[in-house]
Copies of this chain bind each other. A is one copy, B any other.
Amino acid sequence: MSELPIAPVTRLIRNAGAERVSEDASQELIRLLEIEAEKIAGKAVNLARHAKRKTVTKEDIVEATR
């Protein structure tokens, strides 16, 4: 189930220069962004656990993408 709302993702595609954006284009981009988010977040959760913290911090997200 997706979490990201469609309107801001459609705006991101418009900001890239699109005159019009089909709804399934936005939904496909949501799908791809959530896969990416899950990968990064999963690594960040492991890094926080490794540091014996309950809170995922900005540093965990940064380190997760290194």
| A residues apposed to B, CB below 8 Å | 3-5, 8-9, 11-13, 15-22, 24-25, 27-29, 32-34, 36-38, 40-42, 44-45, 48, 54-58, 60-62, 65
Contacts and interface: CB of A to CB of B under 8 A. Distances in A.
Contacts of A28: 58, 61-62
A36 B29 CA distance: 10
Contact of A56 (B3, B25, B27): B25
A60 to B, nearest CB: 7
A55 B5 contact: no
A55 B4 contact: no
Given A3-B8, A3-B12, A41 B58 contact: no
